Amino acid sequence: MGTSQSALAAEALRPLSVTDAQLEVAAKILAAGEAQEQPVPVTDAQIEIAAMILAAGKVVAFTGAGVSAESGVPTYRDPGGLWRKFDMKKVSHINNFLKDPVACWRFELELWRLLRNVKPNPGHYALAELEEAGIVNGIVTQNVEGLHTEAGSKNVIELHGNETRALCLRCGKTCSALEAFRRMGWVSEEGEILEDQLTDISTILRNEGDGSSSSSSPSPSPSVAAAALQRRARAASPAGSQASSSSSSSSSSSPDP
């Protein structure tokens, strides 16, 4: 580390207590990024400074779509992203959910299709290790797939909620998204998507020209479709009508990073 950089780091850390053990853990985890196939170019001096600042504690990590891209989770606005295909205004706001819950759940099924097999990547595990070592106090994330928690992070604040869970607006009970889709009759007990049971998707797709949803093919009436889903849920659950409200009235909020 150069003289000026050392002086800068020392000045920043003057009022803080940093142990050699903390510094070693932080440096090891930061340097692990260099083992990736396409690492972000950093110098040893930069790694050392970052490690010293992290080791001082009282650090919160803020993450967005980029940290999960390596896991195969598509970002929202980049080429191939979800908002390039789906009409965000129709599927990510609570007012639209209340108007047409079936359409919003149809989007959630497509999102679940993308997320069901993804796993945490080294970035998620590194943050979990930093938290366990007492270097990072917690994580604030815009992401909705729960990979930070799956990787072992304990103190995670999900700004946009979690798309792997469903919430009933009537009673406040929660269940997994998978269970909600099973109650709708869209996913089998084995976890397979029943493609022939899915409602039409064209109403929530974007048009290339103006970004509005396509209406190239007819869609079932929302009220008729919602009633059909409620009947399926009542038949599938011993809890009867309460269980149906848990599926058809579950709320989710998609992020807009």
**C-alpha 66 chain-centroid distance:** 11
Per the CB < 8 A criterion, the answer to whether 140 and 62 are in contact is: yes
Cα distances from 197 to residues 143, 173, 181, 190, in angstroms, run 29, 26, 11, 15
Taking alpha carbons only, the member of 157, 160, 163, 165 closest to residue 131 is: 157
The two beta strands, 59-63 and 250-251, are unpaired
Please report, rounded to a whole number, the percentage of residues in the chain having pLDDT higher than 70.
64
How much is the average pLDDT of 147-174? Answer: 92
- 13-27, 146-160, 169-183, 226-240: lowest mean pLDDT where? 226-240
What residue type is 81 in one-letter code?
Answer: G
Task: Give residue for tokens 């103006």.
Answer: 210
Q: How far apart are CA 141 and CA 148, in angstroms?
A: 9
How much is the average pLDDT of 219-242? Answer: 49
Is the model's pLDDT at 57 over the cut of 90? no
Residue 75: the pLDDT is 81
- Band (43; pLDDT cuts 50, 70, 90): confident
Cα distances from 123 to residues 25, 36, 160, in angstroms, run 15, 10, 20
CA 119, 123, 126: angle at the middle one, nearest 5?
A: 110
Q: pLDDT tens digit string along 83-142?
A: 889 998 888 888 989 999 999 999 999 999 989 899 999 999 999 998 998 888 999 999
- Band (192; pLDDT cuts 50, 70, 90): very high
148 has catalytic annotation: no
Residue 242: the pLDDT is 37
> Dihedrals φ, ψ of 64, to 5°?
-135, -160
pTM: predicted TM-score of the whole model, two decimal places: 0.64
What is the three-class DSSP state of 190?
Answer: coil
Mean pLDDT of all residues in the chain? 75
Selected catalytic residue, list 93, 124, 148, 160 = 160
H or E, element range at 234: helix 222-236
